[in-house]
Amino acid sequence: MIGRFMKYVAAGTLGALVALPAAISANDDVMSITSNPNNWAMWSRTYDGTRYSPLAQINKENVGDLQVAWTFSTGVLRGHEGGPLVIGDTMWIHTPFPNKVFSINLADQSINWIYEPKQDAAATIPVMCCDTVSRGLAYAEGKIFLQQADTTLVALDARTGKKIWSVVNGDPKKGETNTNAPIVVGDKVYTGISGGEYGVRGFLVAYHIDDGSMAWKGYSTGPDDEMLVDPEKTTHMLKPIGKDSSLKTWKGDQWRIGGGTTWGWFTYDPDLNLVYYGTGNPSTWNPVVRPGDNRWSMTIFARDADTGMARWVYQMTPHDEWDYDGVNENILVDMEVDGLMRKVLVHFDRNGFAYTLDRVTGELLVAEKYDPAVNWATHVDMKTGRPQVVAQYSTDQQGEDVNTPNICPAALGTKDQQPSAYSPRTGLFYVPTNHVCMDYEPFEVDYVAGQPYVGATLSMFPAGRVMENGTDNLGNFIAWDADKGEIVWSLPERFSVWSGALATGGDVVFYGTLEGHLKAVDAHTGEELYSFKTPSGIIGNVNTWTYNGKQYIGILSGIGGWAGIGMAAGLEGDSEGLGAVGAYKALSRHTQLGGVLTVFALPG
């Protein structure tokens, strides 16, 4: 394999995997590799989070001829989120816990090496909120970066699988775990933390890629210096946030167990040198006991990649009463908004609103519902940025132990972590969504480190039960106009669409379904062009690459995640799995557990 590997190095395809001149930084390395569309070298292919590939060998005219080229079993039967990395003739595949990493030789699909970390399953698995998922790997300068569930961040030699360094990012005994895919910018690798349901205090942290030493750490809540914010320079809605902006919005020292965890996706703008990410729900889910806006949970952060200092913040859901985590991807595009070209950030939040912001300043440009079922708020006030909450669907003004019915969306959001895609050819965003509502009943809960700190009982059901003339589908796949704030077309699906989307230069958009179908649709019209049922339900992200001049499509199937937690963890009660089990009971009639990468190509 090393001989074939070095052949690609000589050709320039994998130059990053050998010693580089000192003048080339990891940032340049990653940008060079990701600028080659034959590779798929980070979670979104490129830093901007668009999940767009210009590859067009597979296009809307011939995609119906796709065939399975090869498959690979991971040997793990839990939820498979994320997708593989591909550089030159090598693929790296990750798994859910125990977080195996496979290096695959694409010439014959043989295994180059396997890395399987030793983790304490008894300490880690019980405090993983919504399945034992992992969202993927990162690559830079000959290293593969694995963020293990037990919070250990590991740098592996990409050629041999040998561990170069590792650093402990948290403590499962306190409920801290990790599920996110890291990214590399400059000489640093960035990762977050999970555990909002255990009172974990969220943060983004940067480690040096050479030795794993910490460069900086910015918390989501708390004192200004610990959050890495400047009261006079960090802005919210174009105004300085002011001193103690977070502390003033929590009761006492609740910010210490305030949530705001960072288990989603990270994007980066090289021109602005800003890293973008979202923070999750405030702890606990019972809003009665934590009055105030609970800043800066539920917030998009724009941070300087070198120092970690926050340039601007925008809070989507102040005083979250519904568990609408704000961790979803932030897609960076340059587009026309109201007749002016802008550098924008587009974010499809769990709360059911799609936001278009100026990514330089944080100015709010568009905020509209991307599912007509959304009812907890009427609209977002464009002057204040605040959602206008409908009293009927508030979960705390009636007090504890009172059930609030028919809230839309459910806690898993109009979209959860499954990332959207954007095509510069159509100017549209392609969004996998949930069409699910809930009943929500808070109850009293005390904080104990390492124990669940939820404080609410939920039940979920199709949004059609609430909507007039509604249907019983639990999901839709939509095309979105981020300038107008409008749905262009929508495809209903029996279950939530929990797969990450892919848009291509062939004017084809791919996504997967919870039943296990990989689907290809026309990027302009949404017309279905191809469907194939993989071995298990799909919660992974569709990727594409080229090897030996041939374009391939790959998808991990393996039912699980929050929507599939009932099957993945063997739960049966309707309110188990934080309310999701009852809504997805029928899923077991359509798929079973698995863990398989399926790779597609055109014949010949």
In three-state secondary structure terms, 450 is coil
Average pLDDT over residues 518-532: 98
Q: Mention every residue, 6+ apart, whose C-beta is less than 8 A from residue 420.
A: 51, 329, 331, 348, 429, 430, 431, 432, 480, 500, 501
**With bands split at pLDDT 50, 70 and 90, how would you rate the model's confidence at 400?**
low
Q: Mention every residue, 6+ apart, whose C-beta is less than 8 A from residue 553.
A: 58, 66, 502, 510, 518, 542, 543, 544, 599, 600, 601
This prediction has a pTM of: 0.95
- Reported as a single tens digit per residue, the pLDDT across 182-218 is 999 999 999 999 999 999 999 999 999 999 999 999 9
Question: For the chain, what percent of residues have pLDDT higher than 70?
Answer: 95
pLDDT of 3 higher than 50 = no
Angle at 74 between CA 70 and CA 78, to 5 degrees: 125
pLDDT of 101 higher than 50 = yes
Distance CA 68, CA 395 (A): 48
| Contact by Cβ (8 Å): 458, 577 | no
pLDDT of residue 92: 98
pLDDT of residue 349: 98
Average pLDDT over residues 546-551: 98
- Reported as a single tens digit per residue, the pLDDT across 321-374 is 999 999 999 999 999 999 999 999 999 999 999 999 999 999 999 999 999 999
pLDDT of residue 17: 39
- Reported as a single tens digit per residue, the pLDDT across 401-427 is 799 999 999 999 999 999 999 999 999
- Reported as a single tens digit per residue, the pLDDT across 456-509 is 999 999 999 999 888 999 999 999 999 999 999 999 999 999 999 999 999 999
Q: Would you please indicate which residues are annotated as catalytic (active-site) residues?
A: 323
**How far from each other are the two terminal CA atoms of the chain, in whole angstroms?**
25
pLDDT of residue 519: 98
Domains, the chain: 2-601 (2.140.10.10)
pLDDT of residue 10: 28
Distance CA 406, CA 394 (A): 11
pLDDT of 23 higher than 80 = no
pLDDT of residue 469: 85
pLDDT of residue 126: 96
> Cβ–Cβ contacts within 10 Å for residue 115, how many?
20
pLDDT of residue 398: 60
